[in-house]
Amino acid sequence: MSLIEKTVLVTGGSRGIGRSIALLFAKEGANVIINYTKDEEGATDVIKEIESLGVKGLAIKANISKAEEVDKMIDEIKENFDRVDILINNAGITKDGLFIGMKERDWDKVMEVNLKGVFLCTKAVIRKMIKQKHGKIINISSIVGIIGNPGQVNYSASKAGVIGFTKSLAREVASRNITVNAIAPGFIETDMTKILPEDVKRNMVETIPMKKYGKPEDVANLAVFLSSDKADYITGQVIHVDGGMAM
């Protein structure tokens, strides 16, 4: 599944699932660009690891929900790389709370990063992909975008939006040799899930047929497969990585 000479942009690559995806792409021989907003130390460490594998790495500080920051990020990418072959829209946030008390700003913030961020980053690379007649776009959604979750109305709506986005765009660009797929992880052990109360985590594991949480690498393996030529005839799909949680 060689990705030698390919260039991938992984949003939110400083920690968690994005970090794992970035490192696996580097191991497969791809040049890797990551972005982040706060975790400069994490991003620097990821780039060091990427470069130690003999490929090019670049970390760019950019908030994916701001058009001007995405534009600047793309300018910096153009200065350093000829093309982006693969886009992994991974960066995402939660602002959980029951709907009855949910603040408008917590709705807006989650939508801006999780959904508008996907729009802006995809918009920034798709023209070039159309011109080069090749591209792979992978959007990290969530199973809660499919089955819902109390306390996550904003997050679930954003992740369901990502699925609609994926399917519509897949139809628009299929004839241009660009595939667009979504990955719907279940409960993956990262900073995002670490903050959940212990009793919530215990109850959650009971709802997973495999009775264990997933690891970031479980998601990374699928992202790499979907980006490889072995997945050239797969588009518009939402693939679960969830130990059977939603089926």
Q: Is 246 exposed, middle or buried (0-12, 13-18, 19+ CB in 10 A)?
A: middle
Among 60, 146, 187, 222, which residue sits at the site for ligand NAP (rule: CB under 6 A)? 187
Q: Which residues contact 56 (CB under 8 A, 6 or more apart)?
A: 7, 31, 32, 50, 80, 81
Segment lying near ligand NAP (by CB under 6 A), choices 14-22, 44-52, 95-103, 166-174: 14-22
Question: If you ran DSSP here, which 8-state letter would residue 14 be given?
Answer: S
Strand partners, 140: 183
**Interface with ligand NAP, residue 17, by CB under 6 A:** yes
Nearer to ligand NAP, 7 or 37 (CB): 37
Binding residues among 20-79 for ligand NAP as defined by CB under 6 A: 35-39, 63-65
Among 41, 68, 75, 191, which residue sits at the site for ligand NAP (rule: CB under 6 A)? 191
For ligand NAP (CB under 6 A), the number of binding residues is 30
**Interface with ligand NAP, residue 152, by CB under 6 A:** no
Residue 106's identity, in one-letter code, is D
233 counts as catalytic? no
- In the complex, least distance from residue 187 CB atom to ligand NAP, rounded to whole angstroms: 5
Q: Which residues contact 234 (CB under 8 A, 6 or more apart)?
A: 179, 181, 226
* H-type alpha helices, the chain: 16-27, 40-52, 67-80, 104-111, 117-132, 144-147, 153-173, 191-194, 198-206, 216-227
Look at residues 194, 188, 165 and name the one whose alpha carbon lies nearest to residue 242: 188
CB atoms within 10 A of CB 197: 8
Query: Binding marks (x or -) toward ligand NAP, 83..112, rule CB under 6 A?
Result: -------xxxx-------------------
What is the rounded distance in angstroms from the CA atom of residue 19 to the CA atom of residue 232?
Answer: 24
**Interface with ligand NAP, residue 192, by CB under 6 A:** yes
Nearer to ligand NAP, 50 or 188 (CB): 188
Nearer to ligand NAP, 7 or 63 (CB): 63
Nearer to ligand NAP, 12 or 135 (CB): 12
- Return the SS3 of 101: helix
Nearer to ligand NAP, 156 or 235 (CB): 156
Active site positions, annotated: 155
Using CB under 6 A as the criterion, which residues of the chain lie in contact with ligand NAP when the complex forms? 11-18, 35-39, 63-65, 90-93, 113, 140, 142, 185, 187-188, 190-193
